[in-house]
Amino acid sequence: MIGVAATRIEDRVFAAAGLQNAVISFDSCESVEFGGVLLLLPFLLANGLLSYKKYYSERLSGYYDFDSVILSLAFMYLCRIKSVEQLKHHSPGEMGKLLGLDRIPEARCLRGIVKELSVQERASEWNAYLSEEWINQEDTSIYYIDGHVQVYHGHLANLGKKHISRQKLCLPGMVEFWVNNADGLPYFFITGEVNEKLQEMITTQLAPRLLELTEGRVSQDELDADGSLPRFTLVFDREAYSPPFFKQLWDCFRIAVITYRKNVKDKWDEKDFSEYKVETDVETEMELCEKQVELNGVELREVRRLTDTGHQTSVITTNNKMPTALIAFYMFSRWSQENFFRYMRQEYDIDRIMQYGVDELDKTIMVVNREYSNTTYQLKKLREKKARCQAKLYVLVEENVEGELEQTEKNIEDQLECRQKIESLEAEEQELIDQRKQQPYRISIGEMPEDTRYNKLKMESKHLQNIIKIICYRAETAIANLLAGYYRKSTNEIRGLVKSIIFAKADIYPDYQTNTLTVRLNSLATPRDNMAIREIYQTLNDYEAVFPGTRLKLVYK
């Protein structure tokens, strides 16, 4: 049994014998499902989709080579087929026409080939190469950093609990720390081992990685000549707020930060605010004011925005070179990264577990002792109960002073009962305090009970597929930027138009005499969309992209 839509019997026999992989060969066909995805192929290639070859060895036998599999995954994600299992509900022959094959790999086959890639464990090196290429091309000095929690609902792993802000719950999961540019485009991500906080990850992994990737961008002579010039600037939310930490980043790495200020209690005089024009998605007029402040002994610049309701939003920074309006722009544009997370969850299902199984953690890693935390929680609840009893006693004393004489005896009995209860709670409190003193606050993972010892999920396959999803998102953004000039509400409309292009049918005409592969997109829903597509065809053709595994130059009409 060869399989549904498998027509190249001879090629499959040769592949089964280990003689060759499938040959990419296109046939003329019309109205191919998801044909519009071929319009994004030049952008996939430009963003390094096939650069995996620098780190992964070739597949020596089998009908499908790694190029076909990587392209299959990219097309699958762009077409919003969010998992390998969902391929079962799509025509394998139609998807195969997009690859120059008789059919796309069957789900079990595709999982097996992805496993062949995953066991090589080169995803982190590939991601490092791509992030260096992107950072060098875009020449940015602003990096947005934030953590994204992948919630775990299984039973195999013992994971630490993390706070999920979108659900307002603490749930077990793994945290991915992402680095994006000011437009929300991702560079790279690092997965936490246990319960690392953002400050720790910045100091130990993110900042050193960025320093390595941007080495030479700002010379030591320039830094010596200008004592206020940073190497680059990190933008993040209040999770990593700490003025001493900001000073440490500057003193150790010459890295500036921009973040919101915590615990703002004073208000500045509204007369001090001036109007600035800030270029966000659209030009916005903001009432801003800047002052020098000292927090925990650290000198900082503080910029506040006055809203129409009179609220003052406070932003602080250690960047002494950046203009006031740009500080506000970069801080209030931080939602581009949050929007990226939301889009990737909804459109690419980035939280899906790709690989089942667990790995052991280094037993020397220090974590907060669960017994210490449990005792602290019990102590907190006990003190809340004691506070309620003390409040009740206060009310009884006041009532006794102001109440009638007949109620005095009953009131004194209630007071006595309440005092006895407080004394009992104080004894329990002291017992818990003594119990907690006997427990260390932090212990190594090796000292944890074996049945509750932390471990981690196998992540290599997810890392590999995350990289492909990043490239797909970047390809979408690239074509969206080309189309943006034809839509005033670009943020709301362009992504929808890109999806319409991907879902559109297309005619495919190979010409092996002239070595061209012509892709003619079928009409979209509105004349306006068709007009926008026509305007970018020349740009697409100027890329002169060649379909992988062939000499066919892509021509769009």
The pLDDT of residue 361: 85
pLDDT in tens, 268-302: 998 999 998 887 666 678 899 999 999 999 999 99
Residue 542, both tokens: 């100027």
pTM value is 0.89
Q: Do 137 and 46 form a contact (C-beta atoms < 8 A)? A: no
Domain chopping of the chain, boundaries = 1-120, 122-237+334-364+454-469, 255-330, 370-439
Place of tokens 């007949």: 406
Mean pLDDT of the chain: 88
Place of tokens 């004894």: 427
71 against 13, higher pLDDT: 71
Q: What distance in Å separates the CA atoms of residue 542 and residue 356, rounded to the nearest whole number?
A: 44
pLDDT confidence bin for 49, thresholds 50/70/90: very high
Per DSSP, what are the bridge partners of residue 292? 301
Residue 182, both tokens: 């000011």
pLDDT in tens, 59-111: 878 888 899 999 999 999 999 999 888 888 888 888 999 999 988 988 888 99
Question: Mean pLDDT, to the nearest integer, of 191-206?
Answer: 90
pLDDT confidence bin for 5, thresholds 50/70/90: low
Q: What distance in Å separates the CA atoms of residue 459 and residue 359, rounded to the nearest whole number?
A: 9
pLDDT in tens, 337-352: 999 999 999 999 998 8
Give yes or no for residue 353 having a pLDDT over 90.
Answer: no
Q: How many Å separate Cα 195 from the centre of its chain? A: 17
Q: How far is CA 513 from CA 98, 517, 551, in A?
A: 20, 11, 11
Q: What distance in Å separates the CA atoms of residue 546 and residue 45, rounded to the nearest whole number?
A: 9
Least confident among 34-43, 139-148, 160-169, 450-459: 160-169
- Helix runs in 165-239, H state only: 198-201, 207-213, 220-225
The pLDDT of residue 3: 63
262 against 11, higher pLDDT: 262
Q: What distance in Å separates the CA atoms of residue 9 and residue 15, rounded to the nearest whole number?
A: 10
Q: What distance in Å separates the CA atoms of residue 281 and residue 490, rounded to the nearest whole number?
A: 9
Q: Which of 21-25, 397-401, 504-508 tops mean pLDDT?
A: 504-508
Give yes or no for residue 1 having a pLDDT over 50.
Answer: no
The pLDDT of residue 164: 82
pLDDT confidence bin for 142, thresholds 50/70/90: very high
The pLDDT of residue 427: 93
Q: What distance in Å separates the CA atoms of residue 328 and residue 312, rounded to the nearest whole number?
A: 13
pLDDT in tens, 480-523: 988 887 776 666 678 888 999 999 999 999 999 999 999 999 98
pLDDT confidence bin for 400, thresholds 50/70/90: confident
pLDDT in tens, 215-256: 888 888 888 888 889 999 999 998 899 999 999 999 999 999
What are residue 386's phi and psi, to 5 degrees?
A: -65, -40
The pLDDT of residue 280: 67
Give yes or no for residue 8 having a pLDDT over 80.
Answer: no
pLDDT in tens, 312-328: 999 999 999 999 999 99
Q: What is the number of alpha carbons within 13 Å of residue 155 lying toward its C-beta? A: 0
Q: Give the SS3 label for residue 317.
A: strand
